[in-house]
Amino acid sequence: MQADADEAEIAARLSTLRVEHRDLDAAIAALNEGGTADQLQLMRLKKRKLRLRDEIALLEDQIIPDIIA
């Protein structure tokens, strides 16, 4: 039972992170299209997006079992 609860928590966290990742995509695109993009803000958003991608990958690895070939 505990494993199911843990997996459900991980799935919920993954969903939240994916939404945030998509939101950052939109924010970065909006800044780029604006023409007067704040480079520091743009860099911070891109770094946050990369951190989210890494966290998403880690959580996906926890859910998907390793296949030993």
pLDDT digits (tens, 9 = 90+) for 9-68: 999 999 999 999 999 999 999 988 877 778 899 999 999 999 999 999 999 988 887 676
Residue 66's pLDDT is what? 67
Give yes or no for residue 1 having a pLDDT over 80.
Answer: no
The answer to pTM > 0.75 is: yes
Counted residue by residue, the chain has a size of: 69
**Dist. CA 5–CA 26, nearest whole Å:** 32
Q: What is the DSSP string of 23-38?
A: HHHHHHHHHHHTSS--
Supply the DSSP symbol for 1: -
